[in-house]
Amino acid sequence: MILARRAPRLDRPRPACHSAPMIDRLHSFARWFVANLDALALGCLAAAVIVGLMLLLRTFGQRTIDSDPECRTWRGVIGRVLAKTSFAFMIVAAIDMVVSYADPPPKIARLSDILFTIGFALQGAVWARELILGVIGRNISEEAGESTIGNAMGVIRVLISVALFTVALVVILDNLGINVTALVAGLGIGGIAIGLAAQGIFADLFAALAILFDRPFRRGDTIRYDQSIGTVEKIGLKTTRLRSVTGEQMVIANTKLLEREIHNLAQGHSRRSTLTFGVSYQTSPEALARIPQLAKAAVDTRRGCHLVRCALTGFGASSLDHELLFDDATLDADALAADRAAIMLALIRSFATEKIDFAYPTQVTFTAAPDGRLVMPWPEPKPA
């Protein structure tokens, strides 16, 4: 049995070739590639230079961190920032560099811009976070006893990260063409609500950071505020603790402390002390004239002490009042007390040698004889 071959029908349409659009795209890409070959080569060269430079900076930052892990210097802070440069950002920057030299299709150019915006926003947030934390850590590391602030660095890191990456997200959405007005308004209202709820904690936290940055005093300094004097023992997250001269511990909120006028007794070059004393009215004018010289000799017996003045200041009820001022180069409270006591003792010895009597409150009673003649309270001198 012979089967006849069925002839093809000429009126049946042929199926469309699905590979034709793909071939056209490849041809278009090939023509674009050939036309922009020089520009692409130049862009690749520039991208390689940029990536190589960022790799060198990241290596430098890592080595700086290895030599200064606590970032005690500004070099360590900058190294900490550079070490956080991500390889993904390098790739995105290289792609954008290559695309900027060529004349790519609009879709490729738009995609490159979007990737670079996202990468730069995220990388910028990381850089800013590490810079802020590095600066705070540098100030904390210089204060060896501020362990409370050091322990709070975790909370500070979370707050800074949330704030910076929120800003980065808003920037990315805005560059993508999304309306972020409602989002920014919502974030603002939420931030206000959180701030009002925890304003006391945040106020003391920022006050503690202000103390660490502005440094009105440090741990170990003796300060005076209002009527209190104490030595700073710890600058905490919410409060500052001081040890008073009488031994008890004083605790005051950081915000309350900064609102007061603080006298830092440890930051002076010298300490001025004042001694007031009086001599009896029976002291002769010649002896009174010698008192400044005696005071200077008494002050000069102590090393680091310098006489400012010693002068007669007034006529008291029972004494001729004097004021002695001297500067002491030491800032140690115990040394100041020892110098003061030694000067007083030297002045007492000098007055005893010169027959000068210190005055004390006295009252003289005059008695009259029957004939009205006053009887003197002291014996009359015998005629020579």
Residues forming a β-bridge with 143: none
Type of residue at 41: A
For the chain, the three-class secondary structure string (H helix, E strand, C coil) is CCCCCCCCCCCCCCCCCCHHHHHHHHHHHHHHHHHCHHHHHHHHHHHHHHHHHHHHHHHHHHHHHHHCCCCCCHHHHHHHHHCCCCHHHHHHHHHHHHHHHCCCCHHHHHHHHHHHHHHHHHHHHHHHHHHHHHHHHHHHHHCCCCHHHHHCHHHHHHHHHHHHHHHHHHHHHHHCCCCCHHHHHHHHHHHHHHHHHCHHHHHHHHHHHHHHHHCCCCCCCEEEECCEEEEEEEECCCEEEEEECCCCEEEEEHHHHHCCCEEECCCCCCEEEEEEEEECCCCCHHHHHHHHHHHHHHHHCCCCEEEEEEEEEEECCCCEEEEEEEEECCCCHHHHHHHHHHHHHHHHHHHHHCCCCECCCCCCCCEECCCCCEECCCCCCCCC
363: Cβ–Cβ under 8 A, 6 or more apart, which residues?
none
Smallest Cα–Cα separation from 147: which of 77, 56, 241?
A: 241
> pTM to 2 decimals?
0.51
pLDDT at site 383 = 62
271-353: in CATH 3.90.79.10 = no
Domain boundaries, given as residue ranges, for the chain: 26-197, 216-264, 271-353
Tokens 């060269």 — which residue? Answer: 45
129-to-64, 122, 143 alpha-carbon distances in Å: 18, 11, 21
> How confident is the prediction along the chain (384 residues), in pLDDT tens digits per residue?
344 444 445 455 554 445 566 676 666 656 666 666 677 777 788 888 888 898 898 888 888 888 777 667 778 888 888 888 888 888 888 888 888 777 777 777 888 888 888 888 899 999 998 888 888 777 665 554 444 455 556 667 877 888 888 888 888 888 877 887 777 777 777 767 666 666 677 777 778 777 877 788 888 888 888 888 888 888 877 888 899 878 889 998 888 888 888 888 777 778 889 999 999 988 999 999 999 999 999 999 999 899 999 999 999 888 999 999 999 988 777 888 999 999 999 999 999 999 999 988 877 677 777 777 777 666 666 665
The CA distance from 86 to 125, in Å, is: 12
The CA distance from 360 to 279, in Å, is: 8
The CA distance from 353 to 342, in Å, is: 17
Q: Please say whether the beta carbons of 278 and 311 come within 8 A.
A: no
271-to-6, 226, 257, 337 alpha-carbon distances in Å: 121, 19, 24, 11
323: Cβ–Cβ under 8 A, 6 or more apart, which residues?
274, 275, 276, 309, 310, 311, 313
Q: How many other C-beta atoms lie within 10 A of the C-beta of residue 379?
A: 6
> Could you tell me which CATH number the domain at 216-264 has?
2.30.30.60
